[in-house]
Structure 1
Amino acid sequence: MAFFLRAGLLFCVLLLRFTTTFAIKDPIVSGSVRDEHGAKVEFATVALHRAADSVVVKTEFSDESGTFRFDKLPAGEYFVSASQVGFERSQTARFAISSIDQTLAPIQLRPSQKMQLKEVTVQARKPLFEREIDRIVVNVEGSPLSAGATSLEVLSRAPGVTVDQNDNLALRGKQGVLVLIDGKRVPMTGTELGDMLRALPANSVEKIELITNPPAQYDAAGGAGIISIKLKKDGRQGTNGSANVSYGYGRYGKFSTGLSLNHRHKKLNLFGSYNHSDRNVYTQLDLHRNFYQNNQFAGSSDQANSGKTNYVTHTYRAGLDYSLSRRTLLGFVVNGLAMDAEAKLTNATRTFDEQNALQSDYQSANRRTLSIPNRALNVNFKHSFDSTGRSELTVDGDIAHYETHRLQTLATTFVLPVRTPTTLDGNLNGALDIRSGKADFTHTFSNKLRLDAGVKMSWVHSDNNVLFKNISEGISVIDTGKSNQFRYDENINALYVNLNKTFKKLTIQAGLRGEQTNVTGYQISGNTGFERNYFQLFPSIFFKQSVSKLHDLSLSLSRRIDRPTYNQLNPFRAYIDATTYFTGNPSLFPQSSYNIELTHTFRQKFVTSFIYTRTDQPIVDVIQPAPEGNRQAVSTFQNLTRSDYFGITLAVPVQPTSWWTIDNNVVAYYNRFIGNLAGTSINRGIPTYTLNSTSTFTLGRGWTADLSGRYQSRELYGFLDIRPLGQLNVAVQKSMWGKKGTLRMNVTDIFYTNPVHATAAYANYVERFNQRQDTRIATASFTYRFGSDTIAPSRRRTGGAEDEKRRAGGAS
């Protein structure tokens, strides 16, 4: 501990001492938009294009003074176009970007006669994928594939993102992903996170950012990277909004609708949104298990599970921004989610002895209800110390309350041998409270030196109480072996500093984050608990070298940590059927990872990355024999000893014609796991790859279309062997009524090739399972925008409780 403290202090002193040497201000391109008389043009649409193929790289709006700016730009050649209602589109000459800021000559717009374009063909919508220095941006808002979909479905189609059978998210084949929604962490992982993202309709999402090696400003969690979901914000002046409705059908129907309103006038901006969905989801799970004793076959079982789950969700968000002065902003945001789910599942199980003779035959009816009313409040403050905005302070305070109410009735009838029917009743009630505060300061000196620093404190209290009863012949008995109450308290205090500098064609960024963690957990049943207190340092460094006009190289290194989620530690049980249940593991330890990534960019668009990650004590989702025996299986989480990840990614965008753009992404990796579990040693991995290809067609007269395909080869993840899978999706979109109305239609997983087939193998147990869900869906949706069309710049809102909220839940 003392060594890390001394090392951290020394590192900070060195960084501060050499601030003038190691600081950066990202290259910025700025300019202004004027009319033919030289007057400013407010809220014009300004697009940055690659000169090589005219593809839009970024889009911004000119502000009240007619000025605009683009930052975080890779070296290369570009041009800028500007447009506004009532004017002809205009563009600049080609120019090159290196490491020096550029101010362009004013762009002059002339009154429109016929709005003709002759010099360049500009895309009618934002590109589906944008690549910035440290992230990939998926523009969900303009994609017809998002129609009627959930955020989880959109995520599952993003480049490098995979979702397994338990809704665990992985980025480029690595689990341990940090999920943010508008800068705030989602308080869940696994199935709880999946349910949350199913409750969030894709039509409320503007874009998704995939950040694989985040800097020190972010919490140290997220060894695999960050998935940041940005919700839509209406930036139009006056009073305006939008309404949407969609209906999809696969095995069952799926309905969603929503309304957003915004009023912006002078110093005040009021906003709010409400979304409602009623979705029915089909699930089929078939299991075959073989049991062994002393390397000898001891019997088997076959199970068939199927049923329907109905999700009814209400999500809301409301807030205001008020300008206390020209340099000071104050904001309030309240948001909530109320989801009620009811699952009706059936199970048929047959067991066989070592001679394959039938031993038992029984059936179960599993009815589960879930209610999760959640609410959160954010207060945010932003102050610029001068008119240039070179020195800024932002402060955020968050309070959040999350509840979980889960009822389960598992009724089992026996055919062979004949027994009295039994019923297992479960009642889980959980509460989670989060308080968090953070402050961030940034200052850019006159010599383009930039310093970022911040502090964050968070407090978490979690209390879960579960009661199980066995009912037989009308007699109810509390099951003390399954019932318990688990309490968890956590406090994390963090400091960070981040410094940046550009030397001609070389950019260096160095950061250090320190986090002090204090946790206690207590299980009332058995009077057992744990207490952990530790301080850790998380350095990060980034290099970017512009080799030539065609080639750029970058290198990033970082250390990160993934603490177990609160429900991953909670030993409560959730039964899938009479012989299968999920439980948390209070003995879990955090996993820490060391990441290195080398990236080559060619012609500003062809990107190749080489990645290595070593993870100590990786947390994996496992299925293994239950300690009770009797051929029961438990799904839980365990720490293995180590994992080594070697990966390569390729981004190959192609534009065969002016109306057809193809974005191809390849992720190939070898992930080796080392450890011992259930008497089984593991030291293995196989090469795996995923292919994503999305074609975007601009068809004219307001019509656009998307065609996307995805394929994942066989994968080994811990003890799980997953067979290949993939899907093909198609969508069309029509803009109408002066672009105020948008009609979208799509079909996902056309050939129904996305079911999961996998095997989990241990020394004394082998399980094969096939899982099918309602993924082949045809959907139609309509969105209507109303009110003013005058655009005003919007401000970014962030929160301070991101890390704690993600870990407020675990898989179940």
Structure 2
Amino acid sequence: MKSKLSLLLVIFTFYNTLVIGQTASGKIEGAVVDEKLAALPFASIVLTNINDTTSAIGVTADENGSFSFDKVTNGSYIVAVSMVGYQKAVSEVFTITNNFIRIPTLQLASTPQNLSEVTISAKKPFIEQQIDKTVINVASSITSTGSSVLQVLEKSPGITVNAHQEEIELAGKSTPLILIDGRPTYLSQADLFMLLKNTPSENIEKIELITNPSSKYDASGNSGIINIIFKKGSRPGTNGSVTMSGSVITHGYGRGDIIGNVNHGVGKINLFASLNGMEGKGFSKTIYDRIITNGSDQTRFDQVYGNIHWVKNYGYRVGIDYNISKSTSVGAKVNGAFNEVHTLSRYSDTKLYDAQLTLKQSYYTTAATRNAQNNFNANFNLRHSTKKGMEITFDTDYLSYIGKRINSLTTSFFKPDGSQDGPPEAVRNTMPLLIRIGVTKLDFVKKFEKFSFEGGLKSSLVKADNEMLYESLENQWFVDSLRSDRFIYKENINAAYLSFQGPLTSRTTLQLGLRLEHTRLSGYSVTLKKRNDQNYVRPFPTLFLSHELNATNLLTCSYGYRIDRPNYQLLNPFESYLDPYTTLRGNPVLKPQFTHNIQLTHLLRGYITTTLAYSVVRDLIVKEYPYIVTEEQKMYLTPENMRFQRNLNVTISAPISILPWWIMQVNLSGQMNRYRAYYKYEVFNVRQSNFTFALTNALNLGKDWTAEVSGSYFSRRIYGLIQSRPSGFINFGVQKSFLHNRMFLKFAGQDIFWTNKFVGSTKFADMNFTVTSLGVSQVFTISFSYKFGNSNISKEKPSNNHVEELQKRASGGI
């Protein structure tokens, strides 16, 4: 391991040494206008050294048509400007010699209507690589049309979605902190997965991927932060959009979506609202092939789990921002959602064979399931800035989750000849859910001439009450007291942080941060009369060091210490009955996991990013750790702590302009993992390497036609004790715009060859099984969108990242 790490460090250092050039010291500013001298926002600007045409630097003009290039190496340059609907313009040659230059305003002439040549689109790229994060501009991807947020994440660089275990990985590590508008969701893993699966991508403006967050963020999130930002406008007047789509998925099932967004700004007040609705029919199928050995006796299980279900999702968001003065603003918003999944057909078909593959017994389970949940979130925020460089923000949130889960299962047993073997076994359970959460946060930023201080306080309180009523049928229904239980969970986290940022030299910047979090939690099983109390304080330091090598090379080194607390559902000791031989159950003594993250990032010419990251995770949480009880021939899936995980990751991301009308985004990630755990007193020690390759092609076909072709490949990798086989997918889409880019018609296909399937296996100690999971990944969608009113919608007022980790961990529900 040390030799491999040393080799990668040498290669990385050598790579950066090759690109070090001259010292930068100049600055260039300019502006872009049209024929009527009106500003042209978001035009594409390229600065090129006439003596080194390979060192071009690109930027985008701001909303006022202005642009700038900082710390430019001495030399002679030209500036080229392009934008859809306009002819390209190029500046005169000018020279930088340690000075500031403002070039004459560049004026673009409209393209004649009969011009047939293809032009470059000025919309934002689907993937923007910034020095501290990766930004996914959802609306820029045609193949995102009619898809869910989860499907957008699935094709984002550095993200792997494991649908079988309902797990999301970022940079090769699980359990990222998922924020919605900078706030936690406080949902359990299963509920969060369902939320992302049912939220239409048309509601999303962008997604931010932050692999090593600063101390102002919650310390939760082993692999970093995924921040999902919803659309909201703030321009004067009334504007918005309506989108309708219909989809056909594998086996002929389908779904329909309708989404509406509206914004109204007048004077100091800005109002915004959105509504969305979705209903559809889907399916899932899981196949287990497992062998259980007990001495000389061997039993083989061939199991198939399948369900056809109907899904409903309705959501709303309403809010107001009010600018009291130039320095003070307040805002409030409420949002909620209703999710329901009920099965139209659910079954489990199992056959038991002996070592000679002779049928011993079979059983068939039918089930009826209904999961429903109402989510509600209210937020109030205040921001105030002073003339002395101080900014204060205050946020408070209230969240509630109310739901109910109903399951009814009937199992019939059969002899080898097909005749029934005894009476059927019938069970049913009901689990209501009630979670209430309160969060308050206060932050400040004090800016001086060359440095700044930032700090804040946060307090969160969570109360969860889950009660399961488990009943069995023997002539009549009776309560099974051994399986019924009530689990009460309380959690209080108080945090404080302080950070400093300032220059060490003219080209080197330092940021130091420290976050303290005090955690108090209590989980109590009423039936088992077992209590798990924890009370601890942990410091979480962060360090960022950024050094500008020259005008085209920026190097950043960062360190962070993070925690992942088990979500409430994992701590809940309830047992979920899948069939007579397979049970899911929680672990009330599950410990949090702690992670050390070190990251080195190189940014070349503002758009080519290379990252080398190393992390060590202690007490790694595995969500479904299989335990085999050989005497009973049963398998229990329970969350458990592995001893540690070590992860080494290298990622390269770059946009490549193949032709003027063809831009390709390339993302390549390779990693080495080492896991260590104990299973029934045996040591599980494994080393494994894997890689991910993702490619997105954006094509401007001319005459308001655009297209996109993208794909990803995932090599063999490890999830806990399970090793998966390679997988991948290919997406495509085409779009036609009308009415000066106000109306759009799109057709998109996701996973068009239905290759994105999970197949995993393990063979260790008494575990020997293979699992195959199939679901809704192949989707074909046609979509119609219309934008009305003022189309120049600016960015949403930034929100504080303070309500995420608890929402991610709230249990129960769907």
Instruction: Give the TM-score, by structure 2 length.
Output: 0.88
Cα distance in 2 between the residues matched to 1:113 and 1:548: 37
- 1:183 aligned residue: 182
Deviations 1:628-657 (A, max 9, x none): 963222222100111111111122332111
Deviation at 1:444, TM superposition (A): 1.7
- Contact kept, 8 Å, 1:75 with 1:604, in 2: the verdict is no
Matched, 1:771 2:788: no
- SS for the counterpart of 2:197 is helix
Matched, 1:240 2:243: no
Deviation at 1:145, TM superposition (A): 0.8
Deviation at 1:366, TM superposition (A): 1.6
Deviation at 1:225, TM superposition (A): 1.0
Matched, 1:648 2:647: no
Deviation at 1:261, TM superposition (A): 1.2
- SS for the counterpart of 2:781 is strand
**One-letter identity of the residue aligned with 1:485:** R
Deviation at 1:571, TM superposition (A): 1.5
- Pair 1:599–1:533, CA change in 2 (3 A): same
* Higher deviation after alignment, 497-506 or 608-617: 497-506
**One-letter identity of the residue aligned with 1:304:** V
Deviation at 1:28, TM superposition (A): 11
- 1:139 aligned residue: 137
Cα distance in 2 between the residues matched to 1:578 and 1:84: 63
Matched, 1:438 2:437: no
- Contact kept, 8 Å, 1:621 with 1:637, in 2: the verdict is yes
Cα distance in 1 between the residues matched to 2:728 and 2:246: 24
Alignment of 1:89-488 (within 5 A): 107=105, 122-164=120-162, 165-250=164-249, 251=251, 252-294=253-295, 296=296, 298-343=298-343, 344-386=345-387, 390-416=389-415, 418-446=421-449, 448-473=450-475, 475-488=476-489
Deviation at 1:604, TM superposition (A): 3.1
Cα distance in 1 between the residues matched to 2:171 and 2:192: 19
* Higher deviation after alignment, 418-427 or 70-79: 70-79
- SS for the counterpart of 1:753 is coil
Cα distance in 2 between the residues matched to 1:435 and 1:264: 30
- 1:8 aligned residue: none
Deviations 1:522-557 (A, max 9, x none): 110111011111111111111122223443322111
- Contact kept, 8 Å, 2:285 with 2:775, in 1: the verdict is yes
Alignment of 1:535-574 (within 5 A): 535-574=537-576
- SS for the counterpart of 1:670 is strand
- Pair 1:728–1:304, CA change in 2 (3 A): same
- SS for the counterpart of 2:196 is helix
- SS for the counterpart of 1:325 is coil
- Pair 1:129–1:297, CA change in 2 (3 A): farther
- SS for the counterpart of 1:383 is strand
- 2:591 aligned residue: 589
- Pair 1:138–1:55, CA change in 2 (3 A): farther
Deviation at 1:190, TM superposition (A): 3.0
- 1:14 aligned residue: none
- 1:517 aligned residue: 519
- Contact kept, 8 Å, 1:61 with 1:791, in 2: the verdict is no
Deviations 1:121-169 (A, max 9, x none): 6533211111111111111112111111010111111111111112200
Deviations 1:756-807 (A, max 9, x none): 1111334122221111112111111111011223545642233632221111
Deviation at 1:476, TM superposition (A): 1.1
- Pair 1:589–1:794, CA change in 2 (3 A): closer
Cα distance in 1 between the residues matched to 2:430 and 2:202: 34
Cα distance in 1 between the residues matched to 2:610 and 2:423: 63
Q: CA RMSD in A?
A: 3.3
Cα distance in 1 between the residues matched to 2:502 and 2:96: 17
- SS for the counterpart of 2:461 is strand
Cα distance in 1 between the residues matched to 2:655 and 2:47: 12
- Pair 1:550–1:310, CA change in 2 (3 A): same
- 1:489 aligned residue: 490
Deviations 1:586-633 (A, max 9, x none): 111110000111223333333222111001100012342366963222
- Contact kept, 8 Å, 2:218 with 2:802, in 1: the verdict is no
Deviation at 1:377, TM superposition (A): 0.3
**One-letter identity of the residue aligned with 1:248:** S
Deviation at 1:501, TM superposition (A): 1.9
Deviation at 1:583, TM superposition (A): 2.0
Cα distance in 1 between the residues matched to 2:74 and 2:154: 31
Cα distance in 2 between the residues matched to 1:506 and 1:339: 49
Cα distance in 2 between the residues matched to 1:35 and 1:697: 25
- SS for the counterpart of 2:151 is helix
Deviation at 1:482, TM superposition (A): 1.8
- Contact kept, 8 Å, 1:284 with 1:772, in 2: the verdict is yes
Cα distance in 1 between the residues matched to 2:73 and 2:746: 34
Deviation at 1:580, TM superposition (A): 2.1
Deviation at 1:47, TM superposition (A): 5.2
Cα distance in 2 between the residues matched to 1:364 and 1:37: 72
Match of 2:786 among 762, 784, 791: 784
- SS for the counterpart of 1:125 is coil
Cα distance in 2 between the residues matched to 1:111 and 1:383: 43
Deviation at 1:486, TM superposition (A): 0.7
**One-letter identity of the residue aligned with 2:361:** S
Cα distance in 2 between the residues matched to 1:692 and 1:145: 14
Deviation at 1:809, TM superposition (A): 3.2
Deviation at 1:673, TM superposition (A): 0.8
- Contact kept, 8 Å, 2:742 with 2:786, in 1: the verdict is yes
**One-letter identity of the residue aligned with 1:162:** T
Deviation at 1:404, TM superposition (A): 2.6
- Pair 1:147–1:800, CA change in 2 (3 A): same
Residues matched between the structures, number: 774
* Higher deviation after alignment, 743-752 or 350-359: 350-359
Alignment of 1:626-645 (within 5 A): 630-645=632-647
Matched, 1:711 2:713: yes
Cα distance in 2 between the residues matched to 1:522 and 1:179: 27
Cα distance in 2 between the residues matched to 1:88 and 1:376: 48
Deviation at 1:113, TM superposition (A): 8.7
Residue identity (%): 31
Deviation at 1:186, TM superposition (A): 2.2
The answer for unaligned runs of 5 or more in structure 2 is 1-25, 49-53
- 1:508 aligned residue: 510
**One-letter identity of the residue aligned with 1:605:** Y
Deviation at 1:315, TM superposition (A): 1.0
Deviations 1:39-86 (A, max 9, x none): xx6794465656569886556423xxx87899999999996969899x
Instruction: Give the TM-score, by structure 1 length.
Output: 0.89
Deviation at 1:213, TM superposition (A): 0.6
Deviations 1:465-484 (A, max 9, x none): 111111133x1121222211
- Contact kept, 8 Å, 1:382 with 1:395, in 2: the verdict is yes
- SS for the counterpart of 1:124 is coil
Cα distance in 1 between the residues matched to 2:813 and 2:690: 25
- SS for the counterpart of 1:686 is strand
The answer for unaligned runs of 5 or more in structure 1 is 1-26
* Higher deviation after alignment, 679-688 or 600-609: 600-609
Match of 1:686 among 682, 685, 688: 688
- Contact kept, 8 Å, 1:261 with 1:271, in 2: the verdict is yes
Deviation at 1:453, TM superposition (A): 1.1
- SS for the counterpart of 1:405 is strand
Deviation at 1:462, TM superposition (A): 0.8
